[in-house]
Structure 1
Amino acid sequence: MLKVSMMEAQGKFHKIGINNIFTFKGFCNKHDTLLFDYIENNIFNITEYKTKILFCYRAVLNELRKKNKSILISTT
């Protein structure tokens, strides 16, 4: 994973575990499980529409969270 520091204008690569790469810390465990159980605990099939929608939804939420965090960091 590449971590980029906007303040220092540089990036560094860091190792991250396979179980943490898709971790999204935007929901509590209960609601994360309710939303993403289908793609986390079933046989993975990327051709299914529901799978694509859930991965896209998670990706959009993850990007929004990253942007919010970077705004909070830059304003403090």
Structure 2
Amino acid sequence: MVTWTIAIAMLSLVMVIGAILNWGPVIQTVLSYMVLLVALAILHRIWSKTKAKRIEILEDQLNEMLEENKRLKEKAAQKAK
């Protein structure tokens, strides 16, 4: 998240300098890049959260499978005796 903040801060600085020097097209371009960066930052945050949730679900499923495997091995060992 820090890189997104730095990128937006740098674009804001360029926009302020452009406003002082009266660069109309530069300000419009920087604004469009800022909107794009903010949208990408939001999408990245959403994707990261869903990825973490998917990993958590897969870990739960793996733990259940390992427990079931352990139970089946114990049953097989008891039957072998």
TM-score by length of 1: 0.47
Q: Which has the larger radius of gyration?
A: 2
Of Structure 1 and Structure 2, the greater strand share is in: 1
Which has the bigger relative contact order, CA under 8 A and spacing at least 6? Answer: 2
More helix, by proportion: 2
Normalising by structure 2, we get a TM-score of 0.45
